[in-house]
Amino acid sequence: MSDVFDHVIAAVPYFDLELFEEPTGSDIKNLQTAFKTTYKK
């Protein structure tokens, strides 16, 4: 199955498309926690 995605991803530039990944709620929550930990006041 990963071979299919590899081919699709490799074909993206031929069609002038762009790929993006939508962050999930947990991604944002982890980023917020890391930011708060790094930049404590």
The three-point CA angle 6-31-40 to 5° equals: 155
What does the pLDDT look like over 1-41, one tens digit per residue?
Answer: 789 999 999 999 999 999 988 878 888 888 888 888 888 76
pLDDT value for 39: 83
pLDDT value for 40: 74
pLDDT value for 2: 84
Structure tokens at 14: 């031929």
pLDDT value for 22: 81
Euclidean distance between CA atoms 29 and 15, whole angstroms: 34
pLDDT value for 41: 63
Instruction: Give the total residue count for the chain.
Output: 41
